[in-house]
Amino acid sequence: MLNTTLPPMRPELVVCPNSTCDASGRIGVHSIKERRYKCHACGKTFAETSGTPLFGLKHPLWMVGVVLAFCGPKILAFLARYERPVIIASIAALILAIVVFHFR
């Protein structure tokens, strides 16, 4: 496993994903280890990747970056036509294929 340093969490750049909450300026860090934020207006906690196609992905973000760099813009254009679960499954399959190819 690679030892990588994650970028610092920046709550001032985050907006609460709760559609009923309108307080975007009152966001704090809930958990650095899990990379979660907390909205102090509505009390909800949410992940750093909430509202992005990467939400729910079980692989590290650096691995997704390797896959996207390896596959290039053609795979992104192909995946843009599909819903988020299909994109996540496709990225997971690509990660598995790259790992199997690399360690065989």
Residue-wise pLDDT for 44-74, tens only, equals 999 887 877 777 777 777 777 777 777 766 7
Q: How confident is the model at residue 79 (pLDDT cuts 50, 70, 90)?
A: low
Give SS3 for 91.
Answer: helix
| pLDDT over 60 (residue 104) | no
Task: Identify the pLDDT of residue 7.
Answer: 75
- Rounded Cα distance between 39 and 30, Å, is 9
**Model confidence pLDDT, tens digit, residues 19-51:** 888 766 788 999 988 889 999 999 999 988 787
pTM of this prediction exceeds 0.75: no
Structural domain boundaries of the chain?
8-51, 53-104
pLDDT at 76: 66
Instruction: Show Cβ contacts of residue 48 under 8 Å, excluding neighbours closer than 6 positions.
Output: 9, 35, 36, 37
- The count of other CB atoms within 10 Å of the CB of residue 53 is 15
